[in-house]
Amino acid sequence: MELTFLGTSAGRPLPGRNVSSTALRLPPACGAYWLFDCGEGTQQQIMRTPVKLSKLERIFITHLHGDHTFGLPGLLSSRAFAGGTSPVWVYGPPGIRKWIEMTLEITETRLEYELHLVEIEREGTVYEDGHVRISAAELVHRTVCYGYRIEEKASFGKLDVSKLEAYGVPSGPLAGRLKSGEDVTLPDGRIIRSADVVGPPSAGRVITILSDTSPCDNAVMLAKHADVLVHEATFEAGLESKALEYGHCTTVQAAETARKAGAKRLLLTHFSTRYRDERLQLLAEEAKAVFPAAFAAYDLLEVHIPKTK
């Protein structure tokens, strides 16, 4: 799994820093990309990365402010030209359906693939399959805004072929049952334990994406023990009153959420345009004083999230 930051600026773009969007490359078993928010210029950013529009499967919108959505109609249109023919699902707060349908209708945009629009009406699981589950909870902002928690399901360990041969276990259904954690009985009556021929399982990875928000309990809940927490840090420490007024966080408040949640890594994003690139490291240092594993994200940064045993 890998995150690619397509935009880390708040409100409006800067030279070298686009507005909000983050891509998630799923494991090879899934073979797809997901997108979280789609600010203006997102498709241009994608052209500068390995992200493939044709492989884009699901888009999760946190809220309907323009710096998180204005790139969506153009991206949906361009996907067809990029060879995308498989269905796409777009999730977001109430209003996302009306806005997209009306925009596509007025502009006479015809998509060559199925588009499914899902309005999130309540907190909880919004999508689940055999590999991942994604849940949403409402944050504290000036409009309805959701944070997302992506949980990869645990995978079984690697089957040791040499041990199977030593025990005389033939390839096929019996080996498959051992791989899935089940003990089996061979035709000669011997019992082979799965733990004896299968390596340790890999725990599922957890990624939390918290867009515009003031500090709140749901932010901590969504980020609980996350391998990576992506959290907005619109303002520097000391501007807590201003952050609260606009429904945002400071660097230190984001770090406090990461610390309370027991997250492993914190990636700060959504920086106010008052901060030029040379100041981003100073913002990261403010967060590091509270949560040492804090880093400032930047446009086109790719972050690999390894599996843990």
Is 249 found in the same domain as 111? yes
Inside any domain, residue 263:
yes
Decide which of 180, 197, 214 is a domain's last residue: 197
Inside any domain, residue 188:
yes
Inside any domain, residue 75:
yes
pLDDT band at 169; cut points 50, 70, 90:
confident
pTM: 0.89
Is 176 found in the same domain as 89? no
Is 177 found in the same domain as 42? no
Is 144 found in the same domain as 17? yes
Inside any domain, residue 307:
no
The arithmetic mean of pLDDT across residues 10-21, rounded, is 96
The whole domain housing 190 covers: 161-197
Percent of the chain surpassing pLDDT 70: 99
pLDDT recorded at residue 258:
98
Residue 155 has pLDDT above 80, yes or no: no
Is 116 found in the same domain as 7? yes
Determine which one of 37, 67, 227, 299 is catalytic.
Answer: 67
Is 144 found in the same domain as 108? yes
Domain tally for the chain?
A: 2
pLDDT recorded at residue 309:
62
Find out whether 131 is annotated in a ligand binding site.
no
| Token pair 């945002």 in the structure block, residue | 248
Inside any domain, residue 97:
yes
Written as one letter, the residue type at 290 is V
Which residues lie below 8 Å from residue 242, measured CB to CB, with a gap of 6+? 235
Residue 307 has pLDDT above 90, yes or no: no
Find out whether 65 is annotated in a ligand binding site.
yes
- CATH code for the domain in which residue 206 is found: 3.60.15.10
pLDDT recorded at residue 141:
97
67 is catalytic: yes
> What CA–CA distance (Å, rounded) separates 244 from 215?
9
Find out whether 141 is annotated in a ligand binding site.
yes
Inside any domain, residue 268:
yes
